[in-house]
Amino acid sequence: MDDLTRFGLPYGLGLFAGKILSTAGIVRFALTIIKLFGLFHIARYLTRDGLRIICYHGFAVAEEHKFRSRLFIRKELFLRRIAHLRRKRFPILPLSAALEALDRDRLPSCATVITMDDAWQGVYSVALPVIRELRIPVTLYVPTYYIEHRMPVFTVTLSYLFWRTRARSVTLPAGLGTFRLETEAEEAEALAQELGNSLAPADRLKFLKETAEALAVPFDEIEKQQLFQVLDESQLRQLADAGVDIQLHSHRHEWPLDDKEEVEREIVENRKILQRTVSHALDHFCYPSGVHAPYQGEWLAALGVRSATTIKAGLNYVDTPRFMLHRLVDGHPVSDIEFEAEVTGFMDIVRALREGRFLSMLRRRFRPRRGAGESTAQTGAGPLGLDKSQDRKPKRPTQAPGP
């Protein structure tokens, strides 16, 4: 809800509320008042031709949501979101079908797509029964390095060890030194991350176990609960058989901005491993951690990719470049009223006002819709909606931190 804060809407209400509410509380209070005045309903009408793509990551199999509450969500939150979308009549479509309808300017009102990133274990053990029962179309973006190397994902597991430990100091393995965790935990973790990422998989797992021992965190519990594990090929196959749309997310969950050959290797390896499990086309992609540059759309198109999602907040319209699709990242920090503000399009209007594109949004809303046979490519946006401005490298490519 930073967009609302920067736009300035909650501050006047904050003066009214005094110091009773936190910043988050003020934002939620402001949104509740805004909804009561009917602005959510108006926003839904103005943005009804925008495609909502919602992003989830993992599902907690134990208490990971207490560690990273946006990265790992509880099943109850997901069920509540789906119930809201259905109660408010937001049609949930498969990604491919939604993009085809968007190309033809024939989306149903407030069309919504559900995506999940990273293929964490909980997507199989927790989410799959829900997906089957409720018959929800889902696209799962799958990196493949840890499918090949069966161990907990190193970076996230290491951070969890430092989060969970109650030790006051630690002597890290491999001669990294002794650190007081009250004041030097960040430095200690950074050194451990750097070393671990340079190791071969077997040595990386050994280092992870030694670090867990040094921090007095029982690693056998992590292994027993399958914390921070990604799916294996058998589980992926069961997801695919249940109708989950498996798609590309790079091999190593790393994404260079200026190395075209490395981009090609990441996509080719990712696709090769996933083709052992799924038979459908692997032609949709999600930028790892949201890291991307606009000119990379041309690279992806040459590799047979048709769309790419970011984690930039917003809705997607006919003129949205298909290799820079916006998503709404959901998780426990997002309250019910904030979620509703996003899916109704109210926050997209706030962003449009702040960025000076509200009038163009209105013109788009009230323009005549295209004929049934007229596609985005026929109206000058380029193949698959690729904006031709992507040919020019920006000075500062868009990036986002990892999970």
Rounded CA separation 231/219 (Å): 19
8: left (phi over 0), alpha (psi -120 to 50) or beta: left
Contact present, 376 and 384 (Cβ < 8 Å): yes
Contact present, 270 and 287 (Cβ < 8 Å): no
DSSP-assigned letter for residue 394: P
Q: pTM (2 decimals)?
A: 0.88
* Cβ count within 10 A of residue 258: 11
Q: What is the third-level CATH fold of 51-148+229-334+378-391?
A: TIM Barrel (3.20.20)
Residue 59 has phi, psi (to 5 degrees) of -115, 135
SS3 (DSSP) at 309: strand
pLDDT digits (tens, 9 = 90+) for 145-199: 999 999 999 999 999 999 999 999 999 999 999 999 999 999 999 999 999 999 9
Computed on alpha carbons and rounded to an integer, the radius of gyration of the chain in Å comes to 22
Rounded CA separation 54/75 (Å): 16
Among residues 74, 42, 35, 47, the alpha carbon closest in space to that of 58 is found at: 74
pLDDT digits (tens, 9 = 90+) for 216-237: 999 999 999 999 999 999 999 9
Rounded CA separation 297/323 (Å): 5
- Biggest alpha carbon–alpha carbon distance for the chain: 68
The residue ranges of every structural domain in the chain are: 51-148+229-334+378-391, 154-225
Element containing residue 47 per DSSP (H, E): none
The order of strands in the sheet holding 328-329 is 307-309, 284-286, 245-248, 138-142, 112-117, 52-56, 328-329
Q: pLDDT 10s per residue in the chain (403 long)?
A: 555 544 334 333 333 334 445 788 999 999 999 999 999 999 999 999 999 999 999 999 999 999 999 999 999 999 999 999 999 999 999 999 999 999 999 999 999 999 999 999 999 999 999 999 999 999 999 999 999 999 999 999 999 999 999 999 999 999 999 999 999 999 999 999 999 999 999 999 999 999 999 999 999 999 999 999 999 999 999 999 999 999 999 999 999 999 999 999 999 999 999 999 999 999 999 999 999 999 999 999 999 999 999 999 999 999 999 999 999 999 999 999 999 999 999 999 999 999 988 888 888 777 776 655 555 443 334 444 444 444 444 444 444 434 4
Percent of the chain scored above 90 by pLDDT?
Answer: 81
β pairing state of 169-172 and 177-180: antiparallel
